[in-house]
Amino acid sequence: MSRRRDPSHGFARLPRAVISGAAFIAVALVLAACGSSSSSSSSSAPAASTSSSVAASTTASASGCVASVTKLVSQETAPMPLLLPSTPVDMSKIKGKTIWYISPSQATGYALAVSQALTAAGNAAGVKISIFDGKGEPTLFTQGMSEAVAAKAAGIVLYGINPALVPVGLQAAKAAKIPVLAVLTGEPAPPNGTIFESINEAVTTGADDMADYAAYATGCKVNGATSFDSTYPSLVTERNTIKAEFAKICPSTCTVQDDPMSLATMATALAPNVESLIERNPKLNTIFATFDQAATYEIPAVQQSGGGKVKIVGTDGLPPNVDAIRKGEAQIADIAYVPPEYLGWLCLDQVARAILGKPTGQNGKPFVMPVQTLDKTNVGTSDTVASLFPKLANYEADFKAKWGL
């Protein structure tokens, strides 16, 4: 079983084979024949036969699943490729300008790290970066957009916020001719031209990989729960995709339930919620954290309540979470998106091109970021980009070369 990944062509993935149901069909035919061939069998015999046959079918399905996900995980832990713009851009032409970065919450580690990388890239290019923290409150998202427009920003990076939540701010930016780069929103750009360009992540591929790893780690016997905030479309997409992947790879042996949470209250509410979740579900063995900051609150709760049985599969690839994997704590895998250090530089590159009226994206299409599964086999001893993502090791020099610096 193989999965083809093509980050330059959006979220679509080729269909792939799933575990065959042939064994179950064969058993069903045998049972039908046995049931009609003899009237002298005791009434209890068919029930016992059915029970043992279903068990055999389940075992066969689980065995096929294990072989399939073992191959998938081998592919998904392979090194991440480097994506760069194909043409140069003269960054000196925006020197001294100010670009605004508006995030849903700087309390989420990835959003914070992207803003820090964007600031570092701005320092290298002589561009000022202004950071606006939405603090997990949608009403503040529009405020951030309004402040950016009032400050006459040269460009805006709208990170992780559904464009549908800030239509007034986007229209104001368009009217002021301020290009907006939407980053990791989980949504396509609106058709009204208020988003100049988008950078998205392969959310469905990443969520598939989360499910694949959990199946691999449990022998295709997942009893899981997905922590997500329904305010954010990309997190809902992750939740839905995890469910759909289990329906394909281990429908009879894997289950997953919803575990709703709120980004705004996770610092105080998430750990008690996880403790309660584990207490209510003694068979629970996996928690899916749809972003790494959630996992950081869940790890101690799992360690206190899970008795070592419950494991966390997260996504983002933040250093504290990777380190938890390295130390053998509750988190056993992380589906890492591109490192935030690299993404911050790509954001500056793309918004600069938008400001200058230059082509954005890659080969005429928006960038879609690849993913890589990190587990104990490939986390090494260092959190550096070069160690975890060797093909991205020289990203700063690569961008500077594109920018003429």
Strand partners, 337: 371
CATH number of the domain to which 325 belongs: 3.40.50.2300
271 with 189, same domain: the answer is: no
Structure tokens, 137: 């409150």
Clarify whether residues 188 and 297 are in a common domain.
no
- Give a yes or no: residue 208 inside a domain: yes
Residue 81 corresponds to which amino acid? Answer: P
143 assigned to some structural domain:
yes
Tell me if 374 sits within 8 A of 334, measured CB to CB: yes
Please tell me whether residues 301 and 209 are part of one structural domain.
yes
Quick count: other Cβ atoms within 10 Å of Cβ 203? Answer: 25
Residue 97 belongs to some domain of the structure? yes
For the chain (405 residues), the mean pLDDT of every run of 10, in chain order, is 37 22 26 34 42 47 87 95 93 97 89 96 98 93 96 97 94 97 87 93 88 97 96 89 96 96 92 94 96 94 86 92 95 93 96 96 89 94 91 95 95
Radius of gyration of the chain (CA): 24
Same domain, 296 and 348: no
Residue 30 phi, psi (nearest 5): -65, -45
Residue that is written with structure tokens 């419950």 in the block: 310
DSSP 171-226: HHHHHTT--EEEES-SSPPPTTS--SEEEEE-HHHHHHHHHHHHHHHHTS--EEEE
- The phi and psi torsions of 132 (rounded to 5 degrees) equal -120, 125
- Burial of residue 166 (number of CB atoms within 10 Å: 0-12, 13-18, 19+): buried
Going by C-alpha positions, the residue among 377, 349, 5 that lies closest to residue 201 is 5
What pLDDT does 203 receive?
74
Verify that 229 and 291 share a domain, yes or no: yes
Relative to beta strand 331-337, strand 367-369 is unpaired
- Of 350, 384, 394, 339, whose CA–CA distance to 125 is shortest? 350
Distances (CA, A) of 239 to 60, 206, 208, 319: 27, 11, 10, 23
**pLDDT recorded at residue 69:** 96
Specify whether 172 is located in the same domain as 237: no
Statement to judge: residues 196 and 216 lie in one domain: no
Q: Residue 76 corresponds to which tokens in the numbers above?
A: 């998904």
Domain that holds residue 250: 203-337
* 125 and 212, same domain (yes or no): no
Question: Do 238 and 117 reside in the same domain of the chain?
Answer: no
Strands across the sheet containing 197-201: 128-133, 98-103, 155-159, 180-183, 197-201, 367-369
Q: Please give the pLDDT value at position 59.
A: 52
349 lies in the same domain as 321:
no
Question: In this structure, are 250 and 326 located in the same domain?
Answer: yes
Neighbours of 192 (CB within 10 A): 11
Beta carbons within 8 Å of 128's beta carbon, 6+ residues apart: 96, 97, 98, 99, 122
Nearest Cα residue to 75 out of 177, 159, 5, 157: 5
Domain count, the chain: 2
